[in-house]
Structure 1
Amino acid sequence: MSSDHHDFSPAERAGLYRAIFERRDVRSQFLPDPVPEDVLARLLQAAHHAPSVGFMQPWDFLLIESRDTRRAVKALFDGANDRAARHYAGERGERYRRLKLEGILDSPLNLCITCDRNRGGPHVLGRDSMFDTDLFSTCLAVQNLWLAARAEGLGVGWVSIVDPDALAGVLALPAGVYPLAYLCLGYVSEFLPEPELAAAGWRQRLPLTGLLRGDTWHTEAPEAVLQAVAGLSPQDASR
């Protein structure tokens, strides 16, 4: 058992797990209210405290308020979304076209978190065998910001349906800087009780017990762990 002085209090643990379970990819519920500077500063500080390979800290944060810039990004999304829709036919295609998959102009603030792939020089500790760990590190910054935003009552939506090279051009990014996450950020009218794609019938959460394995891919996970996971409350398992 861990020592008490390393544990969070029950209330602190509950808050952490609540942020994880109630975090949503927000597209449709943004309010126009501006994000206060002190709240935004806390979110950025949380993102900046993510772990990174070799303490590389490859991220930068572009705070995008310009309507012209956002309209240009929205045009990139519209073109990419039209192309993506062609992958789906029949009822599936109709359902895809009904989905709202961005809040670029609806949210009061857009934020692009980039990854400077050259930061730290030609050799970064820990990156030799897995070169893309700089991208993984920046994803951790995104998740830190996302969970902090939920704790502050703010919604975040990740716009992934956009060509990164075209986006880099709109944002005038220098060579070697990759636009990893284009985010919409703001207060919301509600946080949906389940992910929007699940509510729309697009895809449901997979059972965790079917994703657990043992020492190798073809080895079963320990029975005690499977039983513990299966014993989670329906409320926890459904989130």
Structure 2
Amino acid sequence: MTDHAFTDAERHAVYRAIAERRDMRRFVAGETVSDDVLTRLLAAAHAAPNVGLMQPWRFIRITDPAVRRDIHALVDEERHRTAAALGPRGEEFLALKVEGILDCAELLVVALREGREQHVFGRRTLPHMDLASVSCAIQNLWLAARTEGLGMGWVSIFDPRRLAGLLGMPDGADPVAVLCLGPVPEFPERPQLELDQWAYTRPLAEFISENRW
């Protein structure tokens, strides 16, 4: 234990948020998120680690119901294309609930902003570190949402070019995530895809090695 460690209660809270975070698809319709809470969540996202302090993210809050419906239509189109690409598991995939766009209290689109090419620090040999950085921001938001009792789901089933066009993104900006955020009926004890028998979490030991692959 070092002088910089959190208290036992603080550490427990951090690890609890990590353990209980879930990729949520089911939301309580008609609910809202207060401006104060939303500001805290976005501030947590903005505090994420980012290579070269490039802050490559852009958060677009969707408040127009028509735009929300348009985004849902894009996702639903891609849902059927994904099912076709899955072959034998296509029908099984279509039975899954993969988004809560129409029901969630808040809908956010997260994008990599334009002008990232000027940031060479940390990206000369690993140019995808901009995506790694924005993923850290999304994770910060996710964990902060869990501490506020809110669920969040990351939707990645969409055509990025069409979503960029729908939202008027400039050249060089790339959408990464559609985030559904808001009150949920419950937080399941296990990931939903496990409960749906689609995939299963593998043990940590399978992902750790020492000195060599």
TM-score of the pair, normalised by structure 1: 0.85
Pairing of 1:52-131 with structure 2 (within 5 A): 52-90=50-88, 92-119=89-116, 122-131=118-127
CA contact (8 A) 1:117 1:134 kept: no
Q: Find the residue that maps to 2:118 and give its secondary structure.
A: coil
Amino acid at match of 1:162: F
> Quick check: 2:114–2:171 contact (8 Å CA) kept in 1?
no
Report how far residue 117 of structure 1 moved: 4.3
Alpha-carbon deviations, 1:33-52, whole Å to 9, x = none? Answer: 11000000000000000011
Find the aligned partners of 1:57 and 1:124 in 2 and give their Cα distance: 13
Mapped to 2, the partners of 1:160 and 1:56 lie a distance apart of: 23
Q: Select the structure of larger CA radius of gyration.
A: 1
Alignment of 1:205-216 (within 5 A): 205-216=201-212
CA RMSD across the alignment: 1.3
Give the deviation of 1:167 after TM superposition: 0.6
* Structure 2 contact 26–185 (Cα < 8 Å) conserved: no
**Match of residue 168, structure 1, among 164, 170, 173:** 164
1:48 aligns with 46
**Partner Cα distance (2:27, 2:36) in 1:** 22
Partner SS state of residue 85, structure 2: coil
Q: Deviations over 1:173-200 (max 9, x none)?
A: 1111111111011111111111110001
> How far does residue 31 in structure 1 lie from its aligned partner after superposition?
3.9
1:31 touches 1:186 (CA, 8 Å); kept in 2? no
Give the secondary structure class of the aligned counterpart of 1:74.
Answer: helix
Offset, 1:32: 2.2
1:158 aligns with 2:154: yes
Following superposition, the deviation at residue 129 of structure 1 comes to 1.1
Alignment equivalent of 1:146, drawn from 125, 142, 147:
142
Q: Distance in 2 between matches of 1:104 and 1:95?
A: 21
TM-score by length of 2: 0.95
Percent identity for Structure 1 against Structure 2: 47
SS at match of 1:62: strand
Match of 2:14 in 1: 16
1:123 is displaced (CA, Å) by 3.9
Match of 1:236 in 2: none
Any gaps of 5 or more consecutive residues in structure 2?
none
Structure 2 CA distance for aligned equivalents of residues 50 and 87 of structure 1: 35
**Count of residue correspondences:** 213
Instruction: Tell me if the contact between 2:52 and 2:119 (Cα under 8 Å) persists in the aligned partners.
Output: no
